């Protein structure tokens, strides 16, 4: 046996010549048979929410009028895991009373204290009596711009309001604050219904400001005990910088504010506390703590306080142009609040600090183009000044110079006399614009809201048209600028006699600079508002405009003299 094994090892390959050894059987792994895959059950289709019930509306003081059965239908999906309408209209509720009515402006001001709308629905009548009455109610609410508001309270706590339900007509001004309203084409919808949950604070309320925040008289007990003074300091938010300025020495002042008797206020007449507003009274209480005297409007003063609501009439202040041009030491300060002014301006703020805005009449450009060129170049190098030209003024200058000729042909031939001006506009050395319109605060529109079809609606505020024009002007080249100027001139003055051109453009230019003086950005940066005229022009002295010529104009900030000395030294 041993010899046989040796023989087999000699004739077999090495991998097969290993000695035979007994092996143990390993149990095979248990294979789990696959489970039979059954048919998947279809997902449950969510039930579309709908509510039906009786509607009542309180009319007058006590009368409750029935509007028959109505339905809340075509509800939108609940947005952002918000509160559904089924909370306010559960199946157990069979009727509801129309909410109390508020003006749309008042409701829009409250939207920030509520969560966004989580669900909309259409309110439609189910009975004939409801059709006519809902239509009448809708027209009434549209006319008076009303929105009905109904609070929703949880069943376990009648004292806590969880949400508010709004009812409003399809053409209500409140619609512009929402998106996702279920509008169905060719289907009449008397009212829409929306639910807004009460906003829950995600952080603790901020602690109230310290009583010493506006107490600039900190180390003087007699002022701390003056309740009227302390009240005025906090209401007007009196700043430390103004206290430091007035405390250095007595400074005489005057106060310009809105008053029906403004034209008859005398030279030494003190504050008319009965005729003036309450904020003027508080300012008087503060200024009484300093040694300055209210000198009125004819005497020399060092500080001119302007109520923020009276900026538009400041041009009526006696010698305003001379005070801004010849008295750089006079401080102009706004104060107070006004419903037509944005709250950001409701504080003590210095206005008209330094420098100015300059423009010029067409006749000044026609009679002295080199002088205008020199002044424009001078202004472009001065950081405290800006120059601009009205489009119609440039178009009028081109018309006056070329008469029956074609200014565009002269431009194409490279012979346009005012090409330097087009180049300066293209390079940004002078602005090509009119003053922006005065835009009122959003909560107080300049005109009542008027519902128009979307296809007929352009812009709600004049400032939007101005912004669109500026966007087109920025993208235009020199030739397009000239074309635009000629077109603006023909639109405004094409039907007028040429003899009236100087007076008409002077009036428009004066009005434009008056608007410029009321722009917040301009008030915060520039002091003087200058229009250069020809030597023979006699413009009206109004609107706070400083009229000058190319030969007499002076920046009065020593910048030009510095540039001249620098040019000589180099």
Instruction: Quickly list DSSP for 114-157.
Output: EEEEEEEEEEEESSHHHHHHHHHHHHHHHHHTEEEEEEE--TT-
Model confidence band, residue 510 (pLDDT cutoffs 50, 70, 90) = very high
What's the gap between Cα 469 and its chain centre? 18
- List, in order, residues 6 or more apart from 102 with CB less than 8 Å away: 146, 147, 148, 149
Alpha-carbon distance 350 to 352, whole Å?
7
Report the DSSP pairing between strands 63-73 and 100-103: unpaired
pLDDT at 260: 46
Joined together, the tokens standing for residue 524 give 């915060």
Radius of gyration (Cα) for the chain, nearest Å? Answer: 39
Helix pair 419-427, 478-493: axis angle to 10 deg = 110
Residue 286 reports pLDDT greater than 80: yes
Minimum mean pLDDT range among 207-221, 326-340, 395-409: 207-221
Q: Which helix (H) or strand (E) holds 52?
A: strand 51-59
Residue 26 reports pLDDT greater than 70: no
pLDDT at 270: 47
CA distance readout (Å), 191 to 58, 175, 194, 268: 17, 11, 10, 61
Minimum mean pLDDT range among 16-30, 96-110, 340-354, 423-437: 16-30
Model confidence band, residue 217 (pLDDT cutoffs 50, 70, 90) = low
pLDDT at 311: 93
pLDDT at 222: 65
Q: How confident is the model over 531-548, as pLDDT tens digits?
A: 999 999 988 777 899 999
pLDDT at 351: 96
Report the DSSP pairing between strands 114-125 and 191-198: antiparallel
What architecture (CATH level 2) is domain 51-198?
Answer: Beta Barrel (2.40)
- List, in order, residues 6 or more apart from 70 with CB less than 8 Å away: 52, 53, 54, 55, 123, 124, 125, 126, 130, 134
Model confidence band, residue 87 (pLDDT cutoffs 50, 70, 90) = confident
What architecture (CATH level 2) is domain 355-446+460-569?
Answer: 3-Layer(aba) Sandwich (3.40)
Residue 250 reports pLDDT greater than 50: yes
Q: CB of 371 within 8 A of CB of 551? A: yes
DSSP sequence for 278-341 = HHHHHHHHHHTTSS--B--SSS--SEEEEEGGGGGGGGGSTTHHHHHHH-TTPEEEEES--TTS
**pTM for the structure as a whole:** 0.60
pLDDT at 475: 82
Joined together, the tokens standing for residue 245 give 């300025």
Alpha-carbon distance 103 to 505, whole Å?
43
Mean pLDDT of the chain: 81
Alpha-carbon distance 192 to 179, whole Å?
12
Residue 283 reports pLDDT greater than 80: yes
Residue 509 reports pLDDT greater than 80: yes
pLDDT at 446: 45
Residue 95 reports pLDDT greater than 60: yes
By the 10 Å C-beta count (0-12 exposed, 13-18 middle, 19+ buried), 384 is classed as: middle
| Per-domain boundaries in the chain | 51-198, 221-351, 355-446+460-569
Query: pLDDT higher for 213 or 152?
Result: 152
Q: CB of 419 within 8 A of CB of 425? A: no
3-state secondary structure of 262: helix
Residue 503 reports pLDDT greater than 80: yes
The DSSP secondary-structure symbol of 492 reads H
pLDDT at 543: 87
Highest mean pLDDT among 336-340, 356-360, 564-568: 356-360
Buried b or exposed e, range 386-417, using 16+ CB within 10 angstroms: bbbbbbbbbbbbbbbbeeeeebeebbeeeebb
Alpha-carbon distance 199 to 205, whole Å?
13
The DSSP secondary-structure symbol of 170 reads T
Q: CB of 415 within 8 A of CB of 482? A: no
CA distance readout (Å), 16 to 6, 13, 20, 24, 25: 13, 5, 10, 19, 21
pLDDT at 567: 44
Model confidence band, residue 267 (pLDDT cutoffs 50, 70, 90) = very low
Q: What are phi and psi of 175, to 5 degrees?
A: -60, -35
Model confidence band, residue 227 (pLDDT cutoffs 50, 70, 90) = confident
Alpha-carbon distance 107 to 51, whole Å?
25
Model confidence band, residue 555 (pLDDT cutoffs 50, 70, 90) = confident
CATH of 221-351, one of 2.40.30, 3.30.70, 2.60.120, 3.40.1010: 3.40.1010
Q: How confident is the model over 461-472, as pLDDT tens digits?
A: 677 778 888 888
Alpha-carbon distance 379 to 356, whole Å?
10
Joined together, the tokens standing for residue 2 give 């041993």
The DSSP secondary-structure symbol of 273 reads T
Q: What are phi and psi of 203, to 5 degrees?
A: -150, 155
Q: How confident is the model over 292-318, as pLDDT tens digits?
A: 999 988 889 999 999 999 999 999 999
Nearest to 193 by CA among 109, 79, 99: 99
pLDDT, mean of residues 88-106:
87
């Amino acid at each position: 046996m041993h010899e046989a094994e040796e023989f087999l090892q000699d004739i077999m390959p090495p991998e097969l010549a290993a000695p035979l050894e007994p092996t143990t059987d390993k149990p095979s792994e248990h294979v789990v048979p696959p489970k039979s895959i059954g048919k998947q059950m279809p997902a449950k289709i969510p039930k579309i929410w709908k509510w039906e019930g009786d509607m009542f509306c309180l009319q007058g003081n006590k009368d409750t009028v029935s509007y028959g059965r109505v339905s809340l239908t075509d509800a939108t999906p609940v947005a952002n895991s918000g509160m559904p309408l089924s909370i306010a209209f559960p199946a157990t509720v069979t009727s509801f009373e129309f909410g109390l009515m508020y003006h749309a402006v008042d409701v829009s001001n409250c939207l920030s204290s509520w969560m966004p709308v989580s669900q909309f629905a259409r309110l439609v009548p189910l009975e004939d009596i409801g059709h006519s009455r809902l239509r009448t109610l809708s027209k009434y609410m549209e006319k008076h711009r009303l929105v009905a508001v109904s609070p929703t309270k949880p069943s376990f706590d009648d004292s806590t309001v969880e949400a508010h339900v709004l009812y409003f007509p399809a053409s209500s001004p409140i619609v512009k604050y929402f998106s996702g309203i279920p509008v169905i084409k060719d289907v009449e919808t008397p009212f829409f219904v929306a639910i807004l949950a009460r906003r829950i604070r995600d952080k603790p309320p901020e602690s109230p400001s310290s009583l010493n925040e506006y107490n600039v008289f900190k180390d003087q007990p007699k002022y701390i005990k003056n309740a009227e003074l302390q009240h005025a300091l906090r209401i007007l938010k009196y700043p430390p910088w103004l206290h430091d300025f007035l405390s250095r020495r007595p400074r005489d002042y005057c106060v310009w504010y809105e008053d029906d008797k403004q034209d008859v206020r005398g030279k030494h007449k003190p504050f008319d506390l009965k005729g003036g507003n309450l904020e003027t009274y508080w300012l008087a209480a503060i200024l009484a703590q300093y040694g300055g005297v209210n000198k009125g409007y004819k005497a020399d003063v060092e500080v001119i306080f302007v109520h923020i609501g009276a900026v538009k009439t400041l041009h009526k202040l006696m010698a305003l142009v001379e005070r801004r041009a010849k008295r750089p030491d006079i401080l102009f300060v706004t104060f107070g609040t006004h419903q037509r002014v944005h709250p950001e301006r409701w504080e003590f703020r210095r206005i008209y600090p330094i420098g100015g805005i300059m423009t010029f009449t067409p006749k000044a450009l026609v009679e002295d183009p080199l002088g205008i060129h020199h002044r424009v170049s001078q202004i472009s190098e001065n950081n405290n000044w800006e120059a601009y030209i009205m489009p119609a003024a440039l178009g009028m200058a081109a018309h006056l110079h070329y008469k029956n000729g074609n200014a565009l042909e002269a431009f194409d031939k490279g012979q346009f006399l005012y090409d330097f001006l087009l180049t300066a506009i293209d390079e940004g050395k002078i602005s090509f614009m009119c003053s922006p319109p005065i835009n009122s605060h959003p909560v107080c529109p300049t005109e009542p809201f008027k519902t128009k079809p979307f296809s007929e609606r352009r812009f709600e505020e004049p400032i939007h048209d101005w912004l669109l024009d500026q966007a087109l002007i920025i993208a235009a080249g020199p030739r397009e600028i000239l074309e635009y100027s000629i077109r603006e001139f023909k639109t405004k003055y094409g039907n007028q006699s040429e003899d009236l051109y100087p007076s008409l453009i002077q009036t428009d230019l004066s009005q434009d600079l008056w608007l410029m003086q009321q722009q917040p950005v301009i008030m915060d940066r520039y002091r003087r508002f200058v229009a250069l005229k020809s030597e023979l022009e006699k413009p009206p002295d109004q609107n706070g405009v400083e009229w000058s010529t190319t030969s007499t104009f002076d920046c009065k900030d020593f910048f030009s003299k510095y540039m001249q000395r620098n040019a000589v030294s180099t």
